[in-house]
């Protein structure tokens, strides 16, 4: 299973054919989205105020299951944040929650932000724009 990161969803909404083709190749039912990615998309939509952005978000909600926050995700987030901070590294809270969602659900995180997210131990990453 694959968890689509916020940046991938933005590329999808902009019509990036590489993303569309890969989703259909792996199967749309094999993909999900974190509640935190949805929140990030909504922030962008509210900033622009464009109805098109809200329409794109509704389409994402129709196409993919939205993985809800759970107690396990909260614990994994806290663990990851503590590990990274002890090593002197920081990552944004939203990125950490998205990564925790992928780890808890044993999903591969699909992102174009592999440079930062590769610091998270045990997280499987794929960048469908580079493959």
Domains contained in the chain, CATH given: 2-126 (3.40.50.1010)
Whether residue 64 has pLDDT greater than 90 = yes
Check residue 98 and give its pLDDT: 98
pTM, 2 dp: 0.94
Mean predicted confidence (pLDDT) in 12-31:
94
Q: What is the mean pLDDT of the chain?
A: 95
Whether residue 131 has pLDDT greater than 90 = no
Residues 85-129 have pLDDT tens digits of: 999 998 899 999 999 999 999 999 999 999 889 999 999 999 999
66-73: long-range contacts, CB 8 A cutoff, minimum separation 24: 66/32, 66/33, 66/34, 66/35, 66/38, 67/3, 67/32, 67/33, 67/34, 67/35, 67/101, 67/105, 68/35, 69/35, 69/36, 69/97, 69/101, 70/104, 72/104, 73/97, 73/100, 73/101, 73/104
């Amino acid at each position: 299973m694959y968890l689509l990161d916020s940046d991938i969803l933005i590329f999808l909404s902009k019509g990036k054919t590489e993303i569309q083709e890969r989703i259909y190749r792996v199967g749309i039912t094999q993909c999900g989205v974190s509640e935190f990615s949805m929140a990030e998309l909504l922030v962008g939509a509210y900033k622009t105020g464009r109805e098109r952005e809200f329409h794109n978000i509704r389409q994402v909600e129709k196409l993919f299951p939205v993985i809800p926050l759970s107690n396990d995700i909260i614990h994994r987030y806290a663990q990851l944040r503590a590990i990274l901070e002890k090593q002197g590294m920081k990552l944004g809270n939203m990125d950490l929650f998205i990564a925790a969602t992928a780890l808890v659900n044993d999903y591969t995180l699909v992102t174009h932000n592999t440079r930062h997210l590769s610091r998270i131990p045990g997280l499987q990453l794929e960048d469908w724009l580079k493959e």
